[in-house]
């Protein structure tokens, strides 16, 4: 059976236009609508509408990497609060299940935040004519709206505050190879270079966003002849893992080493973690709103950037030499 991309190519229109026609939107001219429907019928394309409120499909896919990371909960809460008020339902899946569940006959759109999902997989969903909100990457496609954190600006502010506080020796604990991580690491390197502070390959540690990789990085740092003054982590979960391991082994934070994160998840506030705060509940709420606006024909696919700001707390006090 033909897909929405093939219909668009045959009709000489955009995927968005085909999607609007098949979803019975009124913002397409009669001649174009007739042409698209004729080609869809000719190619044997079936676009059944799932029964639901107002006879429309009301299910949205939310795809995460995994479900053990705390910051997902705030994002999901924000998405759910908005879309449920509009009579929509959420189907949560991981990257492995995305292709299976992203059927235009069953769901009406997707929100994706998953380092395990390849760009090609996201594009394949959009090619089906489903609007996609990406929270972790910027892709060029007429059916994809990126809503991404201003990672570079947030991390840059944090790094400059650390330098201004007098820190001279840094280590960085990376997340997985994502756009978020690349922007945060680039900001760190830029600020250090601009302030003539050296950073070497052995100052870089590889992690995977999880608390356990923070523990592993802390073990390795403790083996060094001289520990860095600051461990900058690409997210809060890894920072928490590092802090716990340091403290369990008699290394004081911040007296012996300062630790910073990124995200400002709830537990970070209780631990006094210096971090970059991302409004995750609002991030989810806005993503749900943007997707439903697109479905209603009032939204757009322009990139939307979400601001982040530094939360300076006790784990980054300049109290050690």
pLDDT at position 41: 82
pLDDT at position 276: 97
Per-residue model confidence as pLDDT tens digits over 120-134: 999 999 998 899 999
Domain ranges across the chain = 1-47, 52-148+281-307, 151-278+310-316
* Cis ω for the linkage preceding 303 (within 30 of 0): no
Task: Using alpha carbons, select from 84, 8, 86, 83 the residue that is nearest to residue 40.
Answer: 8
CA–CA distance, 82 with 289 (Å, rounded to integer) = 7
pLDDT at position 54: 41
CATH architecture of 1-47: Orthogonal Bundle (1.10)
Class of domain 52-148+281-307: alpha beta
Q: Is 278 helix (H, G, I), strand (E, B) or coil?
A: coil
Residue with tokens 């299976």: 100
pLDDT at position 103: 87
CA–CA distance, 262 with 110 (Å, rounded to integer) = 25
Task: List the structure tokens of 135.
Answer: 């929270």
How many CA atoms does the CB half-sphere of 149 hold within 13 Å?
A: 27
This prediction has a pTM of 0.78
236-248 helix and 211-222 helix, angle to the nearest 10 degrees: 50
**Which CATH number is 151-278+310-316's, of 3.20.20.140, 3.30.420.40, 1.10.357.10, 3.40.50.2300?**
3.40.50.2300
- Cβ burial, residue 250 (10 Å; 0-12/13-18/19+): exposed
CA–CA distance, 96 with 244 (Å, rounded to integer) = 32
pLDDT at position 71: 67
CA–CA distance, 280 with 247 (Å, rounded to integer) = 28
pLDDT at position 18: 81
CA–CA distance, 135 with 147 (Å, rounded to integer) = 5
Domains 1-47 and 52-148+281-307 fall in the same CATH topology: no
User: Where do the DSSP E strands lie in 100-229?
Assistant: 109-113, 132-134, 144-149, 170-174, 204-206
- Cβ burial, residue 92 (10 Å; 0-12/13-18/19+): middle
pLDDT means over runs of 10, the chain (321 residues): 73 81 77 87 64 58 74 88 92 84 89 89 91 94 94 97 96 91 97 97 94 97 96 96 97 97 92 95 96 88 94 80 40
pLDDT at position 53: 36
């Amino acid at each position: 059976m033909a897909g929405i991309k093939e219909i668009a190519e045959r009709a000489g229109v955009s995927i968005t236009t085909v999607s609007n026609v098949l979803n019975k939107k009124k913002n397409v001219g009669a001649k174009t609508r007739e042409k698209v429907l004729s080609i869809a019928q000719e190619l044997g394309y079936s676009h059944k509408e799932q029964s639901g409120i107002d006879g429309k499909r009301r299910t949205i896919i939310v795809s995460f990497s995994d479900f053990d990371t705390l910051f997902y909960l705030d994002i999901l809460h924000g998405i759910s609060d908005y879309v449920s008020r509009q009579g929509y339902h959420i189907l949560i899946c991981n990257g492995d299940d995305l292709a299976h569940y992203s059927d235009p006959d069953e769901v009406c759109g997707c929100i994706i935040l998953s380092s395990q999902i390849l760009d090609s997989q996201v594009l394949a969903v959009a090619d089906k004519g489903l609007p996609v909100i990406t929270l972790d990457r910027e892709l060029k496609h007429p059916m994809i709206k990126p809503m991404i954190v201003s990672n570079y600006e947030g991390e840059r502010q944090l790094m400059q505050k650390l330098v201004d506080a007098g820190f001279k020796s840094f280590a960085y604990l990376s997340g997985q190879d994502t756009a978020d991580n690349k922007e945060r690491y680039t900001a760190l390197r830029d600020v250090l270079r601009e302030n003539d502070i050296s950073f070497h390959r052995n100052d870089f540690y590889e992690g995977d966003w999880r608390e356990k990789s923070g523990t592993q990085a802390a073990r390795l740092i403790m083996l060094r002849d001289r520990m860095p003054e600051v461990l900058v982590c690409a997210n809060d979960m890894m920072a928490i893992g590092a802090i716990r391991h340091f403290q369990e082994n008699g290394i004081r934070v911040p007296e012996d080493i300062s630790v910073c994160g990124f995200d400002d998840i709830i537990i970070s506030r209780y631990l006094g973690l210096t971090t970059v705060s991302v409004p995750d509940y609002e991030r989810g709420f806005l993503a749900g709103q943007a997707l439903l606006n697109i479905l209603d024909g009032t939204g757009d696919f322009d990139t939307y950037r979400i601001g982040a700001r530094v939360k300076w707390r006790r784990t980054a006090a300049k109290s050690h030499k």
